[in-house]
């Protein structure tokens, strides 16, 4: 009759003799799922006066989405967590249902999309502290926009606009084929806010050794963030497929009805 | 993210095996462990800095595993078995001694597998998985004091079966 201590010893030995089913490699699947489920909420404080707030339909929708998000997903990483994540200066939140799209308001492109003032490549390059990157695969931009605080990020923001090219149609979301937005900032500043629904996927990508995200599928909601860190709700709109990369400290956002390969090719040709 | 990937790498085996003991299915265990790691990442903010992550992770994974058992509405047969290339004692024993040891282990494993769920889970967690008392408590969702009393009871039940079993 075995004593309990003897039985315990036999059980421990037995555990070491067992043939367990092979442990699956969970690293890749877990990290990929975390990336697609990453939820980075926009601030809930309103940057506008109350009267403006209620007049802005998009702002009300956005607030509803943010509140719904808090209840449904219940995930609130700290700003530092986000900054350390990839430092792409982008807050991304995932929601079960996206707000209904609204037609873009009339007006010049720079106003409609919140791009700032019309500029040229030489003027914009001279105005910002970093070398503005131009994709050789697309050539010279058709239009260039520039904006600084209070609407733009602390060190400014340059947007290159491209009209339709072979294989790259005009996007219904922007009215142009490709938008390339570039900005730089300190670690904890954000330039973009994105609200992503269940039919949009986020993938980690690498372009010339730089990490980034490819956002693809159903349009997602984009809002630009001002120098004080407040979302500029007047710029809230639907965005199509987007590649976000960090090119040596310059955050480059490439948006268009592009395939992933097309976007990666554009990014790889930035110089 | 790289740090969390390292955590997954370090604990995926014990997480998967813990889930396997609960679900009795490798596929369900994989799902439970994966979902557990994802939920743990979401809950990182609530994790007490400086605390040992293993019991915390195992608790989340075990909860996921139990949820799968509940929702599946069916029971799998536990497939734990002895490794074919196992050599008792590490050194090369005589073939006869190895056969006797292997026979003993097979019988003991059969008796463990045949225990009621409460006894089987506490014995498997504490001895076969070699979890600590704290980890066993976290895995089973019971206080550590209850682990001790439940373990003591389970060992008495097992010992009784060992005595009854022919050749024990």
Q: Residue A187's pLDDT is what?
A: 47
Distance CA A70, CA A61 (A): 14
What residues does each domain of chain B span?
2-72, 96-164
Q: Pick A61 or A164 by higher pLDDT.
A: A164
Q: What is the pTM of this model?
A: 0.46
Q: Is B56 on the interface with A (CB under 8 A)?
A: no
Q: Is A137 on the interface with B (CB under 8 A)?
A: no
- Contact between B125 and B18 under an 8 Å Cβ cutoff? The reply is yes
Mean pLDDT across the stretch A161-170? Answer: 93
Q: Is A13 on the interface with B (CB under 8 A)?
A: yes
Distance CA B40, CA B59 (A): 10
Q: Is A5 on the interface with B (CB under 8 A)?
A: no
Contact between B38 and A30 using a beta-carbon 8 Å cutoff: yes
Chain B positions touching A35 (Cβ under 8 A) are 1
Q: Pick B46 or A90 by higher pLDDT.
A: A90
* Phi, psi for A250 (deg, rounded to 5): -95, 125
**Least confidently predicted of A3-17, A114-128, A187-201, B81-95:** B81-95
Q: Residue A190's pLDDT is what?
A: 64
Contact between A21 and B104 using a beta-carbon 8 Å cutoff: no
Mean pLDDT across the stretch A64-73? Answer: 32
Q: B96-164: same fold as B2-72?
A: no
Q: Pick A246 or A176 by higher pLDDT.
A: A176
Complex ipTM > 0.85: no
**Least confidently predicted of A119-133, A231-245, B144-158:** A231-245
Contact between A30 and B29 using a beta-carbon 8 Å cutoff: no
Q: Is B9 on the interface with A (CB under 8 A)?
A: yes
The Cα of A187 is separated from the nearest Cα of chain B by a number of Å equal to 17
Sign of the dihedral through C-alpha B103, B104, B110, B113: negative
CATH of B2-72, one of 1.10.1200.10, 3.40.50.2300, 3.20.20.140, 1.10.1740.10: 1.10.1740.10
Confidence of residue A72 (pLDDT cuts 50, 70, 90): very low
Mean pLDDT across the stretch A85-89? Answer: 52
Location of structure tokens 């009854």: B164
Distance CA A160, CA A182 (A): 8
Confidence of residue A208 (pLDDT cuts 50, 70, 90): confident
Architecture (CATH level 2) of domain B96-164: Orthogonal Bundle (1.10)
Confidence of residue B84 (pLDDT cuts 50, 70, 90): low
What residues 35-64 of chain A have any CB closer than 8 A to a CB of chain B? 35, 37
Confidence of residue A49 (pLDDT cuts 50, 70, 90): very low
Contact between A23 and B26 using a beta-carbon 8 Å cutoff: no
C-alpha distances out from residue A248 to A87, A139, A215, Å: 11, 21, 20
Chain B positions touching A20 (Cβ under 8 A) are 17, 20, 80
Q: Is A1 on the interface with B (CB under 8 A)?
A: yes
Cα A49 from chain centre: 27
Q: Residue A74's pLDDT is what?
A: 27
Contact between B13 and A26 using a beta-carbon 8 Å cutoff: no
Mean pLDDT across the stretch B12-36? Answer: 92
Q: Which of A165-179, B32-46, B86-100 has the highest mean pLDDT?
A: A165-179
- Contact between A194 and A92 under an 8 Å Cβ cutoff? The reply is yes
Q: Pick A16 or A97 by higher pLDDT.
A: A16
CA angle A65/A212/A230 to nearest 5° reads 40
Count of residues in chain B: 168
What residues does each domain of chain A span?
28-268
Confidence of residue B123 (pLDDT cuts 50, 70, 90): very high
Contact between B9 and A19 using a beta-carbon 8 Å cutoff: no
- Contact between A90 and A239 under an 8 Å Cβ cutoff? The reply is no
Sign of the dihedral through C-alpha A64, A65, A67, A68: positive
Listed residue (A189, A236, A261) closest to A60, CA to CA: A236
Burial track B7-34 (b if 16+ CB lie within 10 A, e otherwise): bbeebbebbbbbbbbbbbbbebbbbbbb
Q: Is B159 on the interface with A (CB under 8 A)?
A: yes
Residue A186 has pLDDT above 60, yes or no: no
């Amino acid at each position: 009759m075995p004593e309990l201590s003897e039985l315990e010893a036999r059980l421990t030995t037995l555990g070491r003799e067992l043939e367990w089913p092979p442990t699956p490699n969970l690293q890749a699947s877990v990290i990929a799922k975390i990336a697609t489920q990453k939820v980075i909420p926009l601030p809930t404080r309103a940057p506008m006066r109350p009267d403006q707030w209620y007049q802005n339909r998009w702002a009300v929708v956005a607030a509803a989405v943010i509140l719904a998000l808090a209840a449904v997903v219940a995930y609130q990483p700290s700003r530092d967590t986000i900054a350390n994540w990839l430092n792409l200066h982008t807050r991304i939140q995932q929601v079960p249902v996206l707000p209904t799209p609204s037609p873009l308001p009339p007006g010049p492109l720079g106003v409609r999309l919140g791009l700032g003032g019309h500029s040229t490549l030489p003027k914009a390059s001279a105005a910002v502290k970093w070398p503005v990157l131009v994709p050789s695969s697309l050539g010279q931009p058709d239009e260039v926009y520039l904006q600084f605080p209070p609407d733009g990020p602390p060190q400014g923001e340059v947007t290159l606009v491209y009209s339709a090219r072979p294989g790259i149609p005009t996007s219904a979301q922007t009215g142009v084929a490709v938008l390339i937005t570039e900005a730089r900032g300190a670690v904890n500043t954000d330039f973009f806010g994105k609200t992503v629904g269940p039919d949009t996927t986020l993938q980690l990508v690498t372009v010339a050794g730089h990490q980034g995200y490819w956002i693809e599928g159903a349009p997602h909601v984009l809002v630009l963030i001002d120098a004080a860190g407040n979302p500029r709700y007047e710029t809230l709109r639907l965005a199509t497929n987007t590649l976000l990369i960090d090119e040596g400290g310059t955050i480059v956002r490439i948006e268009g009805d592009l395939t992933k390969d097309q976007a990666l090719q554009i990014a790889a040709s930035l110089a | 993210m790289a740090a969390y990937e390292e955590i997954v790498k370090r604990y995926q085996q014990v997480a998967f095996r813990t889930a396997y003991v609960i679900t009795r299915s490798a596929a369900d265990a994989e799902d439970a462990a994966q979902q557990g790691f994802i939920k743990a990442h979401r809950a990182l903010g609530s994790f007490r800095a400086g605390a040992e992550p293993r019991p915390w992770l195992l608790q989340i994974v075990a909860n996921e595993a139990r949820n799968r058992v509940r929702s599946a509405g069916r029971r799998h047969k536990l497939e734990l078995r002895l490794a074919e290339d196992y050599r008792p004692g590490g050194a090369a024993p005589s073939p006869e001694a190895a056969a006797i040891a292997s026979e003993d282990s097979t019988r003991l494993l059969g008796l463990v597998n045949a225990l009621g769920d409460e006894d089987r889970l506490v014995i498997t967690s504490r001895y076969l998985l070699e979890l600590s008392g704290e980890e066993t408590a976290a895995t089973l969702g019971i206080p550590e004091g209850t682990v001790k009393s439940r373990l003591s009871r389970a060992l008495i039940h097992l010992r009784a079966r060992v005595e009854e079993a022919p050749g024990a």
